[in-house]
């Protein structure tokens, strides 16, 4: 290992960057506990009134439940499709594998606005704008690359001989997958499911295009409220959003660490 | 050709496999009798593991066929071949206990719980691992893990067992113990075993027959004795044990051929028996060090005893090995000859710088064609 004489300085720089990255997010949390009626820094006093409103406000509650619903189904769909895609891309030997790999990962590179506009036009044709199924579909496309990358990593570090051994012992490809491969890459798959959930949970750009006043997710509602009148309920909703994200991320990281060891 | 093939009769017919443009296996064929222990022996990258993978069904050959009993299995996927495989790195399922690992092939075959438990117990007993069934692979030593892998590959009673360097990761003492264990199991179960190793000694200890691999091809198949006593090429002779190799040109006269080494002054090596190689051809004679007798040089002419070949030289070094002595002798043409003499026959007085006579029975000299590369170089 290298010794850095300027290690202390390096640590400070890293700390500053971390603060810079986190501050906009963290500022929201104290704001949500303010007693005042304005979304203003610094917050005044301490109260849970905005959380009370959050829980009783019909629109916010509906949006939260909708976000959870869409997130859940996105996680399920993206994980199922992504895991099989990763399996095919790592194990399969076919023409155009490189091309397929680039194509399925392209949503990472394409600006979300472009994806959103494209999705909107297609969905209008199909008549699924403003439906839960449409939202799940769009979010699945966005979450897919994350799942594929994460599961591919798990499969790369997976000992292929175990699959060959299972085959020699009489297990067909499906049995081998469910009895050997899946149990061993399960932590990686679980982590990618949570990443897929998070992707959907805090997605706004595509959601703005393809939601309508009836089917709205939490980020969309927050965005609209901030635009109309600024009320600390938004901060409470945002804090909830952050909390769920942090929990999901934490579980995902724990799951990943279990794969490593 | 005999037509009846019984269970466990494995045959490989002219298989070839290329990766990109490199040939991994090239026209490999062999037949195994039921219950036979055949070792594929060769350096790494010589094609022995690829052969095993093709038999197991992990790789498809570009051409050629694999037969098991009366059935061609070349097109059959690995999981339908009913061939047990033991891997070098054990390949135990880390999320299953030893007993669950062994039960895996039975479970896949839909065998009931009671029967499964009985057969797992039996398999654990066969590899002498009673009482470790509920441990996970990571809680077992390397040797124990390999025994579990062996039990798992045997429990579904395959006709053929393939083993790919199964002791590569074990230390010498464990290896020897496991060798004996595998031989015992082979005897008791009468199973056909195809074993891959690069360890010559391991091959000699365990096998009924050995196939010597070189560069994707089998150079020779035979019992250890056949390979050692009657090698068909210099490669096999040098691969199996130590040897003195004399290169030269044949001048066949009657039954005794003489090989005159090209260097100056020429030395002459005589061969007994029919000479299959034409007069004047380049050839090689191989003499095993333990076939050579070392005597202090007598005064006057050295006349060989009838039927024996004689060379003279100067002792460069004597290495004492307890059971025998190894002599390195410089020959007049500048080359070195090695002799190994058992303790009962060695003259302890012979030391460095002594003039000696090296003699051997002409029948012990193995005449071979010069290797192809050499023939090209000299022509």
| A44-260 CATH fold | MetI-like fold (1.10.3720)
Task: Identify each DSSP E strand in chain B by its residue range.
Answer: 10-19, 22-32, 37-41, 63-68, 71-72, 83-86, 160-164, 192-197, 209-214, 217-222, 244-250, 257-260, 268-271, 282-287, 293-296, 308-320, 324-330, 336-342, 355-361, 366-369
CA nearest neighbour of B159 among B70, B63, B27: B70
Q: Are residues B222 and B161 in the same domain?
A: yes
Minimum-distance CB partner of B108 among A161, A162, A171 = A171
Q: Is B36 helix (H, G, I), strand (E, B) or coil?
A: coil
Beta bridge partner(s), residue B41: B197, B212
Would residue B2 count as lying in a domain? no
* Pairing label, strands B192-197, B37-41: parallel
A41 membership: H or E segment, kind and range: none
Rounded-to-integer distance, Cα B169 and Cα B40, Å? 18
Question: What pLDDT was estimated at residue B5?
Answer: 37
Rounded-to-integer distance, Cα A88 and Cα A183, Å? 18
Question: What pLDDT was estimated at residue B303?
Answer: 67
Domain edge (last residue) among B234, B262, B284 = B234
Minimum-distance CB partner of A168 among B84, B93, B95 = B84
DSSP string, B123-147: HHHHTT-TT-TTS-GGGS-HHHHHH
Tens place of pLDDT for every residue, chain B, 379 residues? 333 334 578 999 999 999 888 889 999 999 999 999 999 999 888 999 999 999 999 999 999 999 998 889 999 999 999 999 999 999 999 999 999 999 999 999 999 999 999 999 999 998 989 888 999 999 999 889 999 999 999 999 998 999 999 988 788 888 888 899 899 999 988 899 999 999 888 998 899 999 999 999 999 999 999 999 889 888 999 888 888 888 888 776 645 566 776 766 777 777 776 666 666 777 888 899 999 999 888 766 666 677 788 888 999 999 988 888 999 999 888 888 999 998 888 888 888 989 998 988 888 888 888 776 554 444 3
Tell me the angle at which helices A132-156 and A97-105 cross, rounded to the nearest 10 degrees.
130
CATH of the domain at B44: 3.40.50.300
Rounded-to-integer distance, Cα A35 and Cα A51, Å? 11
* Pairing label, strands B160-164, B192-197: parallel
CA nearest neighbour of B196 among B305, B41, B89, B311: B41
Q: A164 and B78 in contact by Cβ < 8 A?
A: yes
Residue of A91, A159, A169 for testing the chain B interface, max B β-carbons within 10 Å: A169
Q: B95 and A184 in contact by Cβ < 8 A?
A: yes
Minimum-distance CB partner of B58 among A164, A171, A172 = A164
Sequence-distant (≥ 6) Cβ neighbours of residue B70 within 8 angstroms: B5
Would residue B186 count as lying in a domain? yes
Rounded-to-integer distance, Cα B338 and Cα A79, Å? 68
Question: What pLDDT was estimated at residue A57?
Answer: 82
Would residue B4 count as lying in a domain? no
Tokens of B46: 């010589």
Largest CA distance in chain A: 70
Chain B residue with the nearest C-alpha to that of A179: B104
Q: Distance, in angstroms, between B81 CA and closest chain A CA?
A: 8
Q: Are residues B138 and B226 in the same domain?
A: yes
Q: Are residues B225 and B247 in the same domain?
A: no
Chain A positions in Cβ-Cβ contact with residue B109 (cut-off 8 Å)? 170
Domain edge (last residue) among B234, B266, B287 = B234
Listed as ranges, residues in chain A with pLDDT below 50 are 1, 260-261
Rounded-to-integer distance, Cα B315 and Cα B24, Å? 44
Chain A positions in Cβ-Cβ contact with residue B84 (cut-off 8 Å)? 168-169
Q: Where are the alpha helices (DSSP H) in chain A?
A: 7-31, 49-56, 58-91, 97-105, 112-126, 132-156, 160-168, 173-176, 182-201, 205-210, 218-228, 233-260
Q: Are residues B82 and B229 in the same domain?
A: yes
Give the Å distances, CA to CA, from B222 to A121, B212, B229.
74, 9, 11
Q: A175 and B108 in contact by Cβ < 8 A?
A: yes
CB A136 within 8 A of CB A77: yes
The b/e string for B46-69 (b: 16+ C-beta within 10 A; e otherwise) is bbbbbbbbbbbbbbebeebbbbbb
Would residue B3 count as lying in a domain? no
- Phi, psi dihedrals of residue A34, rounded to the nearest 5°: -70, 155
Q: Are residues B200 and B264 in the same domain?
A: no
Range of the domain at B265: 242-298+306-378
Beta bridge partner(s), residue B68: B10, B71
CB B317 within 8 A of CB B353: no
CB A247 within 8 A of CB A253: no
Q: A161 and B87 in contact by Cβ < 8 A?
A: yes
CB B128 within 8 A of CB B177: no
Q: Are residues B215 and B284 in the same domain?
A: no
Residue of B76, B81, B89, B93 for testing the chain A interface, max A β-carbons within 10 Å: B93
Residue where the block lists tokens 């008549």: A127
The total number of structural domains in chain B stands at: 2
CA nearest neighbour of B23 among B51, B48, B47: B47
CB B149 within 8 A of CB B87: yes
Q: Is A258 helix (H, G, I), strand (E, B) or coil?
A: helix
Beta bridge partner(s), residue B250: B259
Counting Cα atoms < 13 Å in the Cβ hemisphere of A106 gives 10
CA nearest neighbour of B368 among B256, B307, B287, B301: B287
Q: Distance, in angstroms, between A237 CA and closest chain B CA?
A: 42
Tell me the angle at which helices A182-201 and A233-260 cross, rounded to the nearest 10 degrees.
160
Chain A positions in Cβ-Cβ contact with residue B57 (cut-off 8 Å)? 167-168
Residue of A91, A163, A165 for testing the chain B interface, max B β-carbons within 10 Å: A165
Would residue B216 count as lying in a domain? yes
Chain A positions in Cβ-Cβ contact with residue B78 (cut-off 8 Å)? 164, 167-168
Question: What pLDDT was estimated at residue B217?
Answer: 93
Residue of B94, B108, B166 for testing the chain A interface, max A β-carbons within 10 Å: B108
Q: A167 and B94 in contact by Cβ < 8 A?
A: no
CATH of the domain at B322: 2.40.50.100
**For chain A, what are the domain ranges?**
44-260
């Amino acid at each position: 290992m290298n010794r850095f004489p300027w290690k202390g300085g390096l640590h400070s720089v890293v700390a500053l960057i971390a603060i810079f990255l986190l501050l906009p997010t963290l500022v929201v949390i104290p704001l949500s506990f303010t007693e005042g009626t304005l979304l203003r820094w610094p917050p005044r006093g301490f109260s849970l009134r905005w959380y009370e409103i959050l829980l009783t406000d019909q629109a916010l509650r509906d949006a939260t439940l909708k976000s959870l619903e869409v997130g859940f189904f996105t996680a399920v769909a993206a994980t199922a499709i992504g895991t099989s895609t990763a399996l095919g891309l790592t194990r399969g030997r076919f023409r155009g594998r490189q091309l397929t790999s680039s194509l399925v990962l392209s949503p990472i590179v394409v600006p979300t606005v472009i994806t959103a506009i494209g999705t909107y036009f297609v969905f209008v044709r199909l008549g699924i704008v403003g439906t839960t199924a449409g939202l799940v579909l769009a979010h699945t496309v966005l979450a897919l690359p994350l799942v594929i990358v994460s599961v591919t990593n798990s499969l790369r570090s997976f000992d292929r001989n175990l699959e060959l051994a299972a085959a020699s012992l009489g297990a067909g490809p499906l049995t081998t997958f469910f009895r050997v491969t899946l149990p061993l890459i399960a932590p990686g798959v679980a982590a990618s499911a949570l990443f897929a959930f998070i992707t959907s949970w805090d997605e706004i750009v595509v959601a703005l295009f393809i939601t309508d006043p009836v089917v709205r997710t939490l980020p969309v509602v927050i965005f609209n409220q901030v635009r109309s009148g600024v009320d600390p309920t938004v901060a409470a909703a945002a804090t909830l959003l952050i909390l769920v994200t942090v929990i999901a991320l934490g579980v995902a990281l724990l799951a990943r660490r279990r794969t490593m060891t | 050709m005999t037509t009846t093939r019984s269970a466990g009769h494995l045959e490989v017919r002219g298989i070839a496999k290329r990766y990109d443009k490199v040939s991994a296996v090239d026209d490999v064929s062999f037949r195994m009798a039921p219950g036979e222990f055949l070792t594929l022996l060769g350096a790494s990258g010589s094609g022995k593991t690829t052969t095993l993978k093709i038999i197991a069904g992990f790789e498809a050959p570009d051409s050629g066929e694999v037969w098991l009993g009366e059935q061609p299995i070349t097109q059959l996927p690995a999981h339908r071949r009913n061939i047990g495989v033991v891997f070098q790195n054990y390949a135990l399922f880390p999320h299953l206990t030893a007993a669950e690992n062994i039960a895996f092939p039975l479970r896949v075959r839909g065998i009931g719980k009671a029967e499964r438990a009985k057969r797992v117990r039996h398999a654990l007993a066969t590899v002498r691992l009673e009482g470790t069934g509920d441990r996970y692979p990571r809680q077992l030593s390397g040797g124990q893990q390999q025994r579990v892998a062996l039990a798992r590959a045997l429990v579904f009673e395959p006709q053929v067992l393939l083993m790919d360097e199964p002791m590569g990761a074990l230390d010498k003492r464990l290896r020897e113990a496991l060798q004996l264990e595998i031989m015992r199991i082979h005897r008791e179960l009468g199973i056909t075993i195809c074993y891959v190793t690069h360890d010559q000694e391991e091959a000699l200890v365990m096998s009924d027959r050995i196939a010597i691999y070189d560069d994707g091809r089998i150079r020779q198949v035979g019992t250890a004795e056949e390979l050692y006593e009657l090698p068909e090429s210099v490669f096999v002779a040098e691969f199996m044990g130590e040897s003195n190799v004399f290169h030269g040109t044949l001048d066949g006269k009657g039954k005794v051929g003489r090989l005159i080494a090209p260097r100056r002054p020429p030395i002459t090596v005589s061969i007994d028996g029919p000479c299959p190689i034409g007069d004047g051809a380049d050839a090689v004679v191989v003499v095993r060090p333990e076939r050579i007798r070392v005597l202090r040089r007598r005064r006057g002419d050295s006349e060989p005893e009838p039927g024996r070949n004689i060379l003279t030289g100067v002792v460069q070094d004597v290495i004492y090995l307890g059971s025998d002595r190894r002599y390195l002798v410089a020959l007049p043409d500048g080359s070195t000859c090695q002799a190994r003499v058992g303790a009962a026959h060695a003259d302890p007085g012979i030391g460095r710088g002594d003039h000696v006579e090296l003699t051997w029975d002409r029948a012990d000299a193995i005449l071979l064609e010069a290797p192809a590369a050499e023939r090209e170089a000299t022509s």
